[in-house]
Amino acid sequence: MNTRSYFRLFTGIAPLLLVLACARNPVTGKREINLMSTEQEVAIGKESHPSVIATMGLYEDKRLQAFMNEKGKAMAKVSHRPDLPYQFYIVDSPIVNAFAVPGGYVYFTRGILAHFNNEAEFAGVLGHEIGHITAKHAARSQKSQLLSSIALIGGAVLAPEVVGQNIEALQQGLGLLSLKYSRDHESESDNLGVEYSSKIGYDAREMGDFFGTLKRLSDQSGQAVPQFMSTHPDPGNRFTRVHQLAKDYQAKNPASYEVNRDQYLRLIDGIMYGEDPRQGFVENGYFYHPELRFQFPVPSRWQSQNSPSQFQMAAKDGKSAMILTLAKGTSLDEAAQNLVKELSLNVLENGKTTINGNPAYVLISRQQPEQGQPQQDPRTALQIGTWLIQYNNAIYALHGLATNADFQANFNTFKQVAENFRSLNDPDKLNRKAERIVVRSTPRDGSFREVVTLLGMPANRVEEVGILNGLKADDRVPRGTLLKIINR
């Protein structure tokens, strides 16, 4: 069953469930109307998992994965729902984010793993995410939000119920999966993060410190607000609140709580940092894909988002967007037929052409409303210009999207991008390598600024490396301290 039919299933049977399912919440102990059974939660997790992986890709690191599994399992055991089939994954995204999907699926990005400074911070965030699952926050949030998020990341961006609403949603969807929880849910998850991480032996005050890192990341200009906290309460407040919760917990349950800084740093030594240029990158108004060896322009002032399954870009006014994906089919004709069928397209114009020596097929079409769906306002209905380009044993589909009203005004932009799709031959772009985190021991006492400069970091990256290390430029660092350095 794909996510789209899921969507319908849920909206269809919800009223019935409303009557039938009223159960006790495992965390609060209160009886509440639950729209999802455990089986349904697990089904949602199973259903959305392939989309999460298709969108972000898995980051392979056996040692880190083993560590995450071990801590995740230990935490599941002490949680309010020890019997869920928990699964833990590291996704290949540089963005600092962690998220959970109902049914026990927990995801950490390599970006957040690079930013933790000890095992206790890791455990606190793990507890927070497991808390969203055990307290059934997704089930208690608006179903439509959850399901549309899943549909959005499902690569189903051309699904009428998503794009049909507006392109603005698509533009916002350029971010990662973010299940929007209420402030109350976030606070509840913070409580659970403190409780669960303490129960497996970690000092939960460190979890509070990680909100300091998030705050600095969001304050840094030019840096996108980490999704992890974009809808969350102010990280400054959470810093204070979590510290207090941790102190209270430890006062009630005296024990020795671990931080394990050096162990954690050794674990992430060598982790990829920032974008992986091998999977494509934007530079000077172009998108380059070294692995697939092609390039095309990105219209000026457009925002873009790359993922293993597609590259999306959208105008800031939200009125037009473009998506590059792989087309299905072995010939241009077959690819065009598949596309028309899958997206229920009403073709207005089509024809063959050649783009920089590559055979291509152009389609201008409108999306037909799905059966049983009301006819859309023709002005807001979606028009799509598609260029299918055969290149290096693959067929790429480059879609330009706008409403009927805005399509003509944007057509030349779409055309300009598509007609400048060409092979990438520049060795500088082809051989671009990702940066990595390298853990080094400081050669002498000094301020953070002094010692990272000694270790080879340029002055304009001291703040960035400071955020990574949870340290300020003027903080004193004794000789022999392990620090994260960025290296190519």
Given the rule CB under 5 A, which residues bind Zn ion?
189
d(CA 136, CA 89): 20
DSSP string, 389-450: EEETTEEEEEEEEEEHHHHHHHHHHHHHHHHT-EE---HHHHT---EEEEEEE-SS-EEHHH
Least separation in angstroms between CB 207 and Zn ion: 12
Tell me, what amino acid is at 63? R
d(CA 333, CA 361): 8
Least separation in angstroms between CB 132 and Zn ion: 6
d(CA 473, CA 451): 10
Complex with Zn ion: residue 124 or 385, whichever CB lies closer: 124
Tell me, what amino acid is at 59? Y
Complex with Zn ion: residue 109 or 189, whichever CB lies closer: 189
Least separation in angstroms between CB 231 and Zn ion: 9
Give rounded-to-5 percent helix, strand, coil for the chain.
45, 25, 35
Count the alpha carbons within 13 Å of 20 in the hemisphere toward its beta carbon: 8
Complex with Zn ion: residue 109 or 171, whichever CB lies closer: 109
Least separation in angstroms between CB 188 and Zn ion: 9
Element (H, E) at 9: helix 3-20
Query: Is 389 within 8 Å of 417 (Cβ atoms)?
Result: no
Least separation in angstroms between CB 279 and Zn ion: 27
Tell me, what amino acid is at 100? A
Complex with Zn ion: residue 101 or 298, whichever CB lies closer: 101
Token output for 434: 């990702």
Least separation in angstroms between CB 92 and Zn ion: 21
d(CA 88, CA 72): 7
Complex with Zn ion: residue 216 or 238, whichever CB lies closer: 238
Q: How far is CA 280 from CA 58, 149, 471, in A?
A: 16, 24, 32
Complex with Zn ion: residue 64 or 179, whichever CB lies closer: 179
Complex with Zn ion: residue 190 or 206, whichever CB lies closer: 190
Strands of 187-307, DSSP E: 272-273, 281-283, 286-289, 294-297, 303-306
Complex with Zn ion: residue 191 or 442, whichever CB lies closer: 191
Q: What residue spans of 285-403 are helical by DSSP H?
A: 332-342
Least separation in angstroms between CB 11 and Zn ion: 25
d(CA 277, CA 291): 9
Radius of gyration of the chain, Cα coordinates, nearest whole angstrom: 24
d(CA 3, CA 177): 14
Query: Is 352 within 8 Å of 369 (Cβ atoms)?
Result: no
Complex with Zn ion: residue 231 or 338, whichever CB lies closer: 231
Complex with Zn ion: residue 153 or 364, whichever CB lies closer: 153
Least separation in angstroms between CB 125 and Zn ion: 9
Least separation in angstroms between CB 89 and Zn ion: 17
Burial code (b: 16+ CB inside 10 Å, e: under 16) for 218-241 equals beeeeeeebbbbeebbebeebbeb
Least separation in angstroms between CB 189 and Zn ion: 5
Q: What residue spans of 297-363 are helical by DSSP H?
A: 332-342
Complex with Zn ion: residue 129 or 406, whichever CB lies closer: 129
Beta bridge partners of 386: 363, 399
Complex with Zn ion: residue 184 or 475, whichever CB lies closer: 184
Least separation in angstroms between CB 131 and Zn ion: 8
Least separation in angstroms between CB 12 and Zn ion: 29
